[in-house]
Amino acid sequence: MTKNGSLILVINCGSSSLKFALFPAGEQTPLMSGLAECLGEADARITAKINDAKTTEQLNGQGHAAALDVLLRILAEHDWLTSVKAVGHRMVHGGEAFKASVVVNQAILAEIEAHNNLAPLHNPANLLGIRTALAKMPEIPQVVVFDTAFHQTMPPAAYLYALPMALYREHGVRRYGFHGTSHRFVAEEAVRLLKLDPEDHGLVIAHLGNGGSATAVLNGKSVDTTMGMTPLEGLVMGTRSGDVDPGALIHLARNAGWDINEMDNVLNKKSGLLGISELSNDMRAIEGAAAEGHDGAKKALDVFVHRLARHIGGLATSLPRLDAVVFTGGIGENSSTVRKLTIDRLHVFGIALDDAANEATIRGKSGVISKGKGPLAVVIPTNEEWMIARDAAELAGLVAAH
């Protein structure tokens, strides 16, 4: 598949961080990966991992451009730089305009910029990554891969809110969904692993990381998902609330004087596992404390799995048939406890857990963790970076379209 040993650089640029990975075109394992963090702060640094060996370099308060300079120097030192033939960038929000990944040009950049108000925290940072890479590597195709694109196949019944339609027309208020690159990768892997018919299958995929969303996939296409206009809707997350009655916010505005900033801060940063447990946003800590009898941690775990099972059940109604429930993301790939508690709540679908397989399928392993004749429960580690690399390689014409 690989042509001329081409390499693909993947960049996921945040406001103060820049994650990167380098893939040989057509291959799923990176040659190098790493992270520049605390950019623009005194402690700015960049860490690169090559064959499990990590090296860290201080950036002395510098920002994204300096981080990219160091990254390009590291690539040159390993004789990789001249083989980089495409760069793939993660972009959080593409609105309705972007239904698939695209090669960047000035018009595309302007169109992406027009969506900044839909993801004011993320999109400008993602764009900064693209502009910086374009400035340093103007002759290399830059490909943008959107978190929202995979969900553009949702029907209006799934994406419309029951609000006045003028809000949709004039302000783009609708459900878009996120984590699309992960859901797309895991859906393809599930078809392969379970030998499903690509044209006839139904999956519910639960991507459970610090953020979390679940998606119903019918014959390879997203037909419903739990995240909405923003990544705040749906499941209980590390610090995000997921579903909340908007009436509660009206109540707090009227009775507790909450303004928009307070809502934003509490719903995004102080809620979820952290809010309920009053202890931690980290599932490992929650599980540990719950096992020792911490009341808040037990409640957080209960609400987390209740909401997850409830959403999986709801998503299944968008499918003619449920072949499998698939777990992915840090929690989905590693927490046999969350998987067990969730599957125990899905008896109505006839899913039965295989305890031994569930306990054994952790740390990057994939496999079936159910038994019996009902729908399968499955674990599949996600690989969003590779999916971005694949799109970039295909759109740059380095590998054949899959």
First-to-last C-alpha distance (Å) of the chain:
10
Q: Please answer whether residues 153 and 221 qualify as being in contact, where contact means their C-beta atoms are separated by less than 8 angstroms.
A: yes
Q: Please answer whether residues 379 and 366 qualify as being in contact, where contact means their C-beta atoms are separated by less than 8 angstroms.
A: yes
Which string of x and - marks every residue 176-215 that binds ligand ADP (by CB under 6 A)?
A: ---------------------------------xxx----
Smallest distance, ligand ADP to C-beta of residue 329, A: 4
Residues β-bridged to residue 22:
9, 32
272 binds ligand ADP (CB under 6 A): no
Nearest to 147 by CA among 340, 396, 365, 388: 388
The Cα–Cα gap between 329 and 324 comes to 17
Residue 291's H or E segment, with its range, is helix 283-291
30 binds ligand ADP (CB under 6 A): no
Per the rule left: phi > 0, alpha: psi between -120 and 50, beta: everything else, 234 is: left
Residue 257 annotated as lining a ligand binding site: no
Smallest distance, ligand ADP to C-beta of residue 334, A: 3
Q: Which listed range, 218-226, 278-286, 297-305, 317-325, lies at the site for ligand ADP (CB under 6 A)?
A: 278-286
283 binds ligand ADP (CB under 6 A): yes
For the sheet containing 367-368, what is the strand order?
Answer: 221-225, 212-218, 202-208, 324-328, 376-379, 367-368
Cα 281 from chain centre: 17
95 binds ligand ADP (CB under 6 A): no
Describe the crossing of helices 246-256 and 260-269 by its angle, rounded to 10 degrees: 130
Which string of x and - marks every residue 41-80 that binds ligand ADP (by CB under 6 A)?
A: ----------------------------------------
331 binds ligand ADP (CB under 6 A): yes
329 binds ligand ADP (CB under 6 A): yes
Q: What amino acid positions are annotated as catalytic residues?
A: 147
Which string of x and - marks every residue 209-238 that binds ligand ADP (by CB under 6 A)?
A: xxx--------------------------x
Nearest to 59 by CA among 49, 71, 50: 71
Q: Which of residues 150-179 bind ligand ADP (CB under 6 A)?
A: none
Smallest distance, ligand ADP to C-beta of residue 268, A: 14
365 binds ligand ADP (CB under 6 A): no
Residue 284 annotated as lining a ligand binding site: yes
219: phi then psi, degrees, rounded to nearest 5: 50, 45
Residue 216's H or E segment, with its range, is strand 212-218
Q: Structure tokens of 275? A: 């809010």
Residue, CB closest to ligand ADP = 330
Q: Structure tokens of 257? A: 């004087």
Smallest distance, ligand ADP to C-beta of residue 228, A: 18
271 binds ligand ADP (CB under 6 A): no
Smallest distance, ligand ADP to C-beta of residue 78, A: 26
Burial (Cβ within 10 Å: 0-12, 13-18, ≥19) of residue 208 = buried
Among 14, 228, 234, 330, binds ligand ADP (CB under 6 A): 330
242 binds ligand ADP (CB under 6 A): no
What sign has the CA pseudo-torsion 389, 394, 399, 402? positive
Among 37, 147, 287, 391, binds ligand ADP (CB under 6 A): 287
Residue 169 or 284: the one with the smaller Cβ distance to ligand ADP is 284
Binding residues for substrate, by number, are 90
Q: Which residues bind ligand ADP (CB under 6 A)?
A: 209-211, 238, 282-284, 287, 329-331, 334-335
